[in-house]
């Protein structure tokens, strides 16, 4: 059995507003690569953050009441034992795809 390593959390770096202005392009490249989140400080206080766009989209989705409701319902179903192993679901999807391919072949 192989164990996959969980995804690494990006490092959090703090920079002054002056440093961010001077090196914005490099900061954006590091953030976009997913290796880093950057907190920008002004006079020692955190005032803004640079995060990868997919992280930002996740944040927006989680703050959407409809998405939050779906997540809560899914969690409730999971805790109630209404879940199944991913392998089972994937096997079922593959079987469905194979049946569909066979139907398409038979229709020709």
Q: How many domains does the chain have?
A: 2
- pLDDT at position 2 over 60: no
For position 6, what pLDDT does the model report? 56
Report the distance separating Cα 66 and Cα 88, nearest Å. 28
Q: In this structure, what token pair is assigned to residue 43? A: 């006079």
List the CATH number of the domain containing 34.
Answer: 3.40.1620.10
The pLDDT tens digits for 44-93 are 999 999 999 888 888 888 888 888 888 888 888 888 988 877 788 788 88
Domain assignment of residue 102, given as a range:
64-108
Phi and psi, residue 89, nearest 5°:
-65, -45
Residues 107, 82 share a domain: yes
């Amino acid at each position: 059995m192989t164990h996959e390593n969980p995804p690494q959390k990006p490092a959090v770096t703090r920079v002054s507003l002056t440093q961010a202005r001077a090196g914005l392009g490099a900061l954006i490249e590091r953030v976009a690569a997913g290796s880093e989140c950057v907190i920008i400080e002004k006079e020692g206080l955190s005032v803004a953050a640079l995060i990868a766009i997919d992280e930002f989209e996740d944040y927006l989705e989680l703050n959407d009441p409809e998405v939050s409701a779906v997540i809560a319902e899914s969690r409730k179903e999971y805790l109630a034992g209404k879940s199944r192993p991913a392998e089972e679901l994937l096997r079922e999807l593959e079987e469905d795809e194979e049946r569909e391919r066979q139907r398409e072949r038979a229709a020709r």
